[in-house]
A and B are shown apart, each in its own frame.
Chain A
Amino acid sequence: MHELSLCDAILGTTTKYADGRPVSQVTVRIGHLRQVVPDALRFGWELLTEPTDLKGCELVIEQIPATVECRECRAVTTLDLPILSCGTCGSFEVTLLTGEEFLIVALELAEVEA
């Protein structure tokens, strides 16, 4: 949730790193456990960039699934739901490997005509 204020944060960081240069694309990496809805994020991005120099800049969302490693049977499970248990033996003694990522990865500056 809070996709709009997340977009505000993305906008701020993008503007800072772009340093006046035109941006064609911003990539974010978000794990499934961060409670972010991609459609809402894209919608918020369009809303916030509309009146700015970043209008038309594409927001690319890398969604990272939640995976856990079982401390008992060593199996790695990809989670469909945020229930942290081993898909092989059912144990709750698991270590979270991925799924909490929450980054602005990079931006791509627009091509500049020579």
Chain B
Amino acid sequence: MGRVHLHADGTEHHHDHDHPASPEHDLAAGRDIGDHSGYAATGAVRVEILENLLSENDRVADANRDAFARAGVRTVNLMSSPGAGKTTLLKRTLRRLGSSVRIGVLEGDIATTLDADELEGVGATAIAVVNTSAGFGGECHLDAVMVRSGISRLPLHDLDLLVIENVGNLVCPAEFRVGEQAKAMVYAVTEGEEKPLKYPVMFRAVDVVVVNKIDLLPYLDFDLDTFLSNLRSVNPAARVIQASARTGEGVDEWCAWLSGSG
């Protein structure tokens, strides 16, 4: 008996509780000297748990998801590295869709309300801000609890669509479900071709990648085919939409995906 450990190479080995004989063991009542193998002999009790490490977050994410479903709100988690163009794309989106679709925005940032300020008055039904500077000095991602707090300040029943603009970060947001129906990434052509290989977990997590800033292509050495090939190697199923939030190219296609109609 004993514990079984799995190793990365697939081998497993067992730990037996062997100890050299010592005066302390001699004094221990009722124990065999030098042999503590087996739980019955040692008295150690194993309590099986088998719970997800982020069970608390996932529980709240499920509750958020149910709240969105009850209110009939399509919810999208929008992620990217800092500066890829989430807010600019959102601004375009609100202008294009805001009069026909009731859109709520939940802005996540470590600090400032600058993104929410940027989006004022362009067509959102409601905007709520979550600054993540509570906890260990400013979380680098939104989690389900923060989103729950944010949506408590939004009139969900008056919304058709909710966009959660996550903190600019290509690593952490992928690990935290917040209750969204779909995940989208904004990726700027100025970021180069190799990022899918460097941040595979994030690229794997998203349903769509908006390849943004295509108006800059004439000034760059960006190789779109190489990027797409790299993206396919980590996420063959991701939809790709080429766009420029600045000129408006591709924004119709993005809006169709976002509203769930294309």
Contact = CB atoms under 8 A, between A and B. Distances in A.
B4 to A, nearest CB: 9
Contacts of A35: 171, 175, 201
Contacts of B30: 114
Contacts of A63: 6-8
Contacts, number: 101
B53 A33 contact: no
A64 B6 contact: yes
Interface of chain B, main secondary structure: mixed
Interface in B9-48: 9-10, 28-30, 42-48
Given A62-B6, A108-B46, A83 B201 contact: no
Nearest to B203: A82
B8 A65 contact: yes
A10 B53 contact: yes
Interface of chain A, main secondary structure: mixed
Contacts of A113: 28
B111 interface: no
Contact of A105 (B48, B172, B233): B48
Contact of A107 (B9, B49, B52): B49
B47 A24 contact: no
Contacts of A82: 200-201, 204, 234
Contacts of A93: 236
Nearest to B15: A60
Interface string A54-89: 000000101111000000000000100111110000
Interface residues of B, number: 38
Contact of B48 (A32, A85, A106): A106
A5 B43 CA distance: 32
Contacts of A83: 197, 200, 233-234
Interface of A: 1-2, 4-6, 9-10, 12-13, 17-18, 24, 27-28, 30, 32-35, 60, 62-65, 78, 81-85, 92-93, 102-114
14 contacts: A1-B175, A6-B54, A9-B53, A12-B56, A13-B55, A17-B47, A24-B44, A33-B201, A63-B7, A102-B53, A105-B50, A106-B49, A107-B47, A109-B45
The 7 closest A-B pairs by CB, nearest first: A82-B200, A109-B45, A111-B43, A106-B48, A104-B49, A92-B236, A102-B53
